[in-house]
Amino acid sequence: MIKILLIEDEPKTVQSLKQGLEENHYTVDVAYDGLMGKQLATRTAYQLIISDIIIPGMNGLELCKSLRAEGIQTPILMLTALSTTDDKLVGFEAGADDYLAKPFDFKEFLARVKALIKRSNQTLIEAQVLKFADLELDLTSKIVTRSGQKINLTAKEFQLMEYFLRNQEKVISKAEIAENIWEVEDEGSSNLIEVYVNYLRKKVDKGFPSKLIHTQFGMGYILRQE
């Protein structure tokens, strides 16, 4: 069963989209305002969230941002009457995965819904605790341990460690780290990333018999057991 959350207040739109989606064998929950939308989105595991930008209680973009901030990665399709490029850009920046301007053809809408769900099916479900070897990283309490021993990480260090954990056994380039942790494109001239990797090594690897963080010269870093 594929569950979709539709956040929209205009009854006519709700009616036609819900019906159309259900005819295509999707299960549709409807929220009529931002607050309700957020509650549903955080409490239920949806495969897709479809949200109008203009909804009562909260702007659809705000909703989108706040869901992303909470770590919810469900694909989001934004709907709106606004159709200038700038509007769309804001949508994408807020973390939306696609953007459709009203009025639209239902068939196109359905195609985009399908495409988004197809893609997200390939992604994995979120865990609360990330593990690698004897290293554990609890995302909710932000507690990190190695062999049961507690390790104190700063916010940035935690972010970086989390990124490593999410990409274990995979070489991560500095460009990738710069983009995902520091949200910059060009990583500049400083050696910030090296410095932070160094911090992590001191806290996570130093004193332990096996090292987890390895340098792949000219490629990046990788989390791997020796």
Partner DNA sequence: ACAGTTGTGAACATTTTGTTACAATCGAAA
Partner DNA sequence: TTTCGATTGTAACAAAATGTTCACAACTGT
Residues that bind a second copy (CB under 8 A): 1-2, 24-25, 73, 75, 85-86, 88-89, 92-93, 96-98, 105, 107-108, 111-112, 114-115, 119-120, 122-125, 140-142, 154-156, 158, 169-171, 173, 175, 185-186, 216-219, 222, 224
In this complex, which beta carbon is closest to DNA, that of residue 19 or of residue 216? 216
Cα angle for residues 155, 39, 131 (degrees, 5° grid): 40
Q: Partners of 131 in the beta sheet?
A: 136
Token pair, residue 111, equals 């195609």
CB of 154 to DNA, least distance (A): 3
Tell me the backbone φ, ψ of residue 40, rounded to 5 degrees.
Answer: -60, -45
Contact 96, 7 (CB under 8 A): no
Cα separation, 209 vs 111, whole angstroms: 53
Cα separation, 51 vs 5, whole angstroms: 8
Closest listed residue to residue 76, CA positions, set 56, 59, 58, 99: 99
Contact pick of 106, 152, 170, 225 for DNA (by CB under 7 A): 152
How many residues of this chain interact with DNA, rule: CB under 7 A? 24
Does 157 engage in binding with DNA (CB under 7 A)?
yes
Does 224 engage in binding with DNA (CB under 7 A)?
no
Does 197 engage in binding with DNA (CB under 7 A)?
yes
Q: Which does residue 128 bind out of a second copy, DNA, none, counting CB within 5 to 8 angstroms by kind?
A: none
In this complex, which beta carbon is closest to a second copy, that of residue 35 or of residue 110? 110
Does 174 engage in binding with DNA (CB under 7 A)?
yes
- Which residues, other chains included, contact 73 with Cβ-Cβ below 8 Å and sequence gap of 6+? 123, 126
Does 188 engage in binding with DNA (CB under 7 A)?
yes
Does 163 engage in binding with DNA (CB under 7 A)?
no
CB of 189 to DNA, least distance (A): 6
In this complex, which beta carbon is closest to a second copy, that of residue 52 or of residue 97? 97
Give CA separation, 93 vs 68, 76, 112, 136, in Å: 11, 12, 19, 32
CB of 96 to a second copy, least distance (A): 8
For DNA, the binding residues (CB under 7 A) are 152, 154-157, 174, 182, 188-192, 194-195, 197-198, 201-202, 215-220
